[in-house]
Structure 1
Amino acid sequence: MKPSILIIEDNEQNMYMLSYLLKGNDYHVIEAYNGNDGINLALKYNPEIILLDIQLPDMDGYEICVKLRNDKLPKATTIIAVTSYAMGGDREKALRAGADGYIEKPINTETFVSEMIRIFNKKQQK
């Protein structure tokens, strides 16, 4: 069975594209448009994968990642930062906050799902 995926993304176009790609590949998708909703939905549904934007209106993705890792989120949950933050050190900052991977925007629609699954599989092998 394919993993369930929570997308935490405030941009409607980005949310649509990610949801479209994932649903088109038969994934169950849960959508949150801000950090507070994302945290609540993550704790309610325990998705196997969380795709997390870094720049959100209520709190940044780094803070969300830390909160999720410190709450009762299962340790096996894979958190992937999907962000346009591509400056030096941003990837490392996301990983230090608790992300398992980092995918830059704009995403490549041809490779996004396989990149996500590669990060997921790597996390599951730990």
Structure 2
Amino acid sequence: MKVLLVDDYRTSTDSLANVACSMGHAVTRAYTGLDALVAASGEGAFELILLDIGLPDINGHELCMRLRASEKYASRRIFSLTADEDVGERFDMSCFDGQLLKPLSLEEFESLLAG
């Protein structure tokens, strides 16, 4: 599966990428919203995207809305990733397929990757 991991906290992103790669997935990392948009505009489409809400340039909610506006990502699996349990009070999270809380457990991440 092609996976896009978007988080400005590089250690977390790299750790999740290592787990996904060890499970045989093709992983692209992005540390900013702009990097994610560039990666998403490339050839093919990611089948799973995890978006940190608190990115330094474009928040994850806005990024999700931009991705959903394209036919390419209108029906792909996109999950928010945040340490903020109250994120739903600030954003309409309906554009996401689900919300994941940091720190993300290894079991939860592996289950998500397994489909």
Range into which the TM-score falls when normalised by the shorter chain: 0.7 to 0.9
Structure 2 matches for 1:45-60, cutoff 5 A? 45-60=44-59
Residue 71 of structure 1 and its aligned partner are, at CA, apart by 2.5
Query: What is the TM-score normalised by the length of structure 1?
Result: 0.80
Kept after mapping to 2: 8 A contact 1:34/1:58: yes
Residue 111 of structure 1 and its aligned partner are, at CA, apart by 2.7
Q: After the TM superposition, which segments of 4 or more aligned residues of structure 1 sit over 3 Å from their partners?
A: none
String of CA shifts for 1:60-87, please: whole Å, max 9, x gaps: 0011011111134233311011111212
Q: Which runs of 5+ in 1 are unaligned?
A: 122-126
The SS at the match of 2:72 is coil
Residue 48 of structure 1 and its aligned partner are, at CA, apart by 0.7
Equivalent residue number for residue 109 of structure 1? 106
Q: Which runs of 5+ in 2 are unaligned?
A: none
The SS at the match of 1:66 is helix
The SS at the match of 1:89 is helix
State the Cα RMSD in Å: 2.0
AA at the equivalent of 2:105: N
Task: Tell me the distance in 2 between the aligned counterparts of 1:6 and 1:64.
Answer: 13
Kept after mapping to 2: 8 A contact 1:48/1:76: no
AA at the equivalent of 2:26: H
The size of the alignment, in residue pairs, is 114
Kept after mapping to 2: 8 A contact 1:51/1:81: yes
Equivalent residue number for residue 19 of structure 2? 21
Residue 37 of structure 1 and its aligned partner are, at CA, apart by 1.1
Equivalent residue number for residue 7 of structure 1? 5
Q: 1:88/1:38 Cα in 2 relative to 1: closer, same or farther (>3 Å)?
A: closer
String of CA shifts for 1:79-105, please: whole Å, max 9, x gaps: 011111212635x93532x11111100
Equivalent residue number for residue 76 of structure 1? 75
Bigger strand share: 2
Query: What is the TM-score normalised by the length of structure 2?
Result: 0.87
